Amino acid sequence: MDYKLQVQDLNVFYGAMHALKSISLNIESKRVTALIGPSGCGKSTFLRALNRMNDIIEGVVTTGTILYDGKNVYNGYDEIELRRRVGMVFQKPNPFPMTVYDNVAYGPRIHGVKRRREIDEIVERSLRAAALWDEIKDRLNKPALGISGGQQQRLCIARVLAVEPDVVLMDEPTSALDPISTARIEDLIYEMKNRYTIVIVTHNMQQAGRISDHTAFFLDGVVEETGSTQQIFFKPTNPRTEAYISGKFG
């Protein structure tokens, strides 16, 4: 198995609160891994640990090992470079208060891309990859905050893709979207997995079932069960997993 991320004995503390307890979980390359579990179980904390986003929260202590392409994320990478390669899409679309074009161009520019033609190419390629180009190509100079919520979320995905990441972390990316926009994002995730490793936190069990290859069930800071999504949704081995995915718990 080709693992993009290998997590060993990961512990995360928010002050005295032990949020993640000895998590060991491998993330397969170019697959979609869904993290499911009730609120407060540690899914998002785990996701943020993967690109060291927890480091910016005061009082957080992290122990254990996270290997990305075999190198420890804590000493093998510059954290800015790590976050370029392991990008993140958040629950609520958060475009910058600038034009559609500038939102996508922002990342490449701060990473040193200066030539206009090159930036134009990156913007078009990223918006196409995020399945937004056809809808937005005539409005590139309009404010990003003026487009629909579903389009804003795809713009945020385009913004991540513009800096050519390797892994895309998604924290409930469709929870604020209507069913049509959700379906577009799900189709996009399905296409993206040919090129990227995707880890997605979702509270929507059917979404996890539809789009992911692997599923990990978190509960109280522990991975209760992990396996192929088919196995988890057809015959989970842990009764707590079954109770959770069938909506009888959590």
Partner 1 sequence: MAVPRIHFSESLKALNQEILKMGTLVEEAIGKSISCLIDQDIELAKKIVDDDEAINQKEIDIEDRCTILIATEQPVASDLRHIITALKIVTQLERMGDHAVHIAKAAIRLSEEVYMKPLIDIPKMSEIVIKMIHDVLTAFINSDADLAIETAKMDASLDKLHHDVMTEIWGYLKADSRYVKQSTSFLFISRFLERLGDHVTNISEWIVYSNTGRHVELNRIGYYSEESDAEGNDSHS
Binding residues (CB under 8 A) for partner 1: these are 205-206, 209, 233-236, 242-243, 245-250
Least separation in angstroms between CB 248 and partner 1: 5
Question: How many other β-carbons are positioned within 10 Å of the β-carbon of residue 213?
Answer: 15
Least separation in angstroms between CB 105 and partner 1: 41
Instruction: Please report, as a single letter, which amino acid is at residue 127.
Output: L
Question: Which residues make beta-bridge pairs with 225?
Answer: 217
Name the residue nearer to partner 1 (CB basis): 30 or 240: 240
Least separation in angstroms between CB 249 and partner 1: 5
Whole-angstrom distance, CA of residue 37 vs CA of residue 220: 9
Name the residue nearer to partner 1 (CB basis): 213 or 242: 242
Whole-angstrom distance, CA of residue 169 vs CA of residue 186: 14
Least separation in angstroms between CB 68 and partner 1: 32
Name the residue nearer to partner 1 (CB basis): 164 or 242: 242
**Using CA atoms in the order 222, 219, 42, 68, what is the torsion angle rounded to 10 degrees?**
50
Name the residue nearer to partner 1 (CB basis): 111 or 235: 235
Beta strands at 71-72 and 60-68: parallel, antiparallel or unpaired: antiparallel
Least separation in angstroms between CB 189 and partner 1: 19
Name the residue nearer to partner 1 (CB basis): 117 or 248: 248
Alpha-carbon distance values, 122 to 85, 106, 128, 197, 214 (Å): 16, 11, 10, 20, 31
Question: Which residues make beta-bridge pairs with 68?
Answer: 5, 71
Those residues with Cβ within 8 angstroms of residue 30's Cβ, 6 or more apart along the chain or in another chain: 2, 4, 193, 194, 195, 196, 197
Whole-angstrom distance, CA of residue 195 vs CA of residue 164: 10
Name the residue nearer to partner 1 (CB basis): 47 or 232: 232
Least separation in angstroms between CB 131 and partner 1: 26
